[in-house]
Amino acid sequence: MKIASIQITHHQLPLDPPFPAAWDTQPRHKFPATIVRVTDDEGRTGIGSGDALYGFHDYAHLFIGQDPRHLDRHATVLDNISFHAGRCWPLEIALWDLVGQIEGRPIWQMVGGTGKRIRAYASFGTHRNAGDSAAVAVTAIECGFPALKLRFGRLRLEDDLAVLAAVRRAVGERLHLLVDCNQGWRMPWDVQPPWDYARALEVAQELARYGVYWMEEPLHRADYTGMARLRGATRVKIAGGEGTREIHEFYTLLERDCLDIYQPDVAWTGGMTQLRKLAQAVVDAGCLFTPHTWGNGIGLLANMHLTAGTVGAPFLEFPWDPPLWTTARRDFMLSSPIEIDSAGTLFCSDAPGMGILLDEAILARTLSNTARYV
Ligand SMILES: [Mg+2]
């Protein structure tokens, strides 16, 4: 059994109205997606998505002709590629999807089989005003979500806190509230420094007053000392790791007691092979593993299978911020969007791999680039 071809296509979904992402000073007029398809010599195709796979053309020959079932080998080579060039982990997701089809097993079973369901938290992506935030938070309760994540980072901290106060007033104790400070996140054009420890502590103390469940990325992702100090100084749980690139960095974060909540995204870092082991190490250390998923539905599915099938989590990120960020926009490449049930639960299917059905018509309409390796 051999890998016969790898196809990488890039797509741009026009966004009208544009999406004003809270973590980006520039409104987004397009939503890009990379679709990776790995086909074996018997005609089965595994699908992945995530990073753009910059630089992959130099390394495609390392996979063509290989047995797709040698997942540990592929993960090692991909880890080496991320040392030399870009992060090509969507290929690893596609390989797991392909091997699932070869073996007739869903990925949630392949990674451990612990479970196939996980509750979702509504993850906002914009800075809306206090009244609108409170209204959408009430809608989140009606939809069944057990938790909601707000974005900080408005011009003034008072404005962020006013939103948090309004949401807490509106939802009472019916939702866990999470706050993403995005201080580990940098756009290429960002030049201002992230918060320092004093600022992060000031915000943490405010969040504690509102009973916030976790504070996400309060400091730069490399400030291990600051994160560990902050964790010891506040009741609020400290979350992070979505932008951390290398798997060994997560083990250092664990050794130094930096975080309560670990959030690597399987589409960005480590792939299934490395993260299923990290998930167990995180739980063994008494912490929670619940990945970042802000991307598209394929990445969400991959993180669902990984988390539900291994250690589980109280809830998993579900990008949702209607009307500006809907499941239809997020999952445009899928034949139907991924939705929660009335209790806010996501279910992994029992179909082999991830059971992905692509919407080929919209992928054709949004295509901007194709690369194919044989
Ligand atoms: Mg985040």
Give the distance (Å) from ligand 1 centre to CA of residue 60: 31
Is residue 342 a contact partner of residue 142, using CB atoms and an 8 Å limit?
Answer: no
Give the distance (Å) from ligand 1 centre to CA of residue 195: 15
Q: Determine the average pLDDT of the residues in 242-249.
A: 95
Give the distance (Å) from ligand 1 centre to CA of residue 41: 39
Task: Answer whether residue 55 shows pLDDT above 90.
Answer: no
Tell me if domain 3-104+359-373 and domain 110-347 are identical in fold.
Answer: no
Written as six digits, the tokens of 339 are 């939705």
Q: Determine the average pLDDT of the residues in 195-213.
A: 98
Give the distance (Å) from ligand 1 centre to CA of residue 121: 13
Is residue 233 a contact partner of residue 269, using CB atoms and an 8 Å limit?
Answer: no
Give the distance (Å) from ligand 1 centre to CA of residue 315: 14
Task: Answer whether residue 303 shows pLDDT above 90.
Answer: yes
- What pLDDT, on a 0 to 100 scale, did the predictor assign at position 215? 98
Q: Determine the average pLDDT of the residues in 79-95.
A: 96
Is residue 359 a contact partner of residue 335, using CB atoms and an 8 Å limit?
Answer: yes
In the predicted model, what is the mean pLDDT of the chain? 97
pLDDT digits (tens, 9 = 90+) for 123-162: 999 999 999 999 999 999 999 999 999 999 999 999 999 9
Task: Answer whether residue 8 shows pLDDT above 90.
Answer: yes
Task: Answer whether residue 54 shows pLDDT above 90.
Answer: no
pLDDT digits (tens, 9 = 90+) for 65-81: 999 999 999 999 999 99
Give the distance (Å) from ligand 1 centre to CA of residue 227: 15
Give the distance (Å) from ligand 1 centre to CA of residue 201: 18
Give the distance (Å) from ligand 1 centre to CA of residue 187: 13
Q: Determine the average pLDDT of the residues in 258-278.
A: 97
Domain boundaries, the chain: 3-104+359-373, 110-347
Give the distance (Å) from ligand 1 centre to CA of residue 69: 32
Is residue 263 a contact partner of residue 290, using CB atoms and an 8 Å limit?
Answer: yes
Give the distance (Å) from ligand 1 centre to CA of residue 180: 6
pLDDT digits (tens, 9 = 90+) for 283-302: 999 999 999 999 999 999 99
The pTM assigned to this predicted structure is 0.97
Give the distance (Å) from ligand 1 centre to CA of residue 150: 10
Q: Determine the average pLDDT of the residues in 243-267.
A: 97
Q: Determine the average pLDDT of the residues in 95-107.
A: 98
Give the distance (Å) from ligand 1 centre to CA of residue 3: 35
Is residue 99 a contact partner of residue 75, using CB atoms and an 8 Å limit?
Answer: no
Give the distance (Å) from ligand 1 centre to CA of residue 182: 6
Task: For residue 333, name the pLDDT band (cuts at 50, 70, 90).
Answer: very high
Is residue 24 a contact partner of residue 63, using CB atoms and an 8 Å limit?
Answer: no
Give the distance (Å) from ligand 1 centre to CA of residue 40: 35
Q: Which CATH number is 110-347 given?
A: 3.20.20.120
Give the distance (Å) from ligand 1 centre to CA of residue 14: 24
Give the distance (Å) from ligand 1 centre to CA of residue 114: 26
Give the distance (Å) from ligand 1 centre to CA of residue 181: 8
Give the distance (Å) from ligand 1 centre to CA of residue 93: 21
pLDDT digits (tens, 9 = 90+) for 211-231: 999 999 999 999 999 999 999
Fold adopted by 3-104+359-373: Enolase-like; domain 1 (3.30.390)
Backbone CA torsion sign across 336, 341, 344, 348: negative
Give the distance (Å) from ligand 1 centre to CA of residue 125: 9
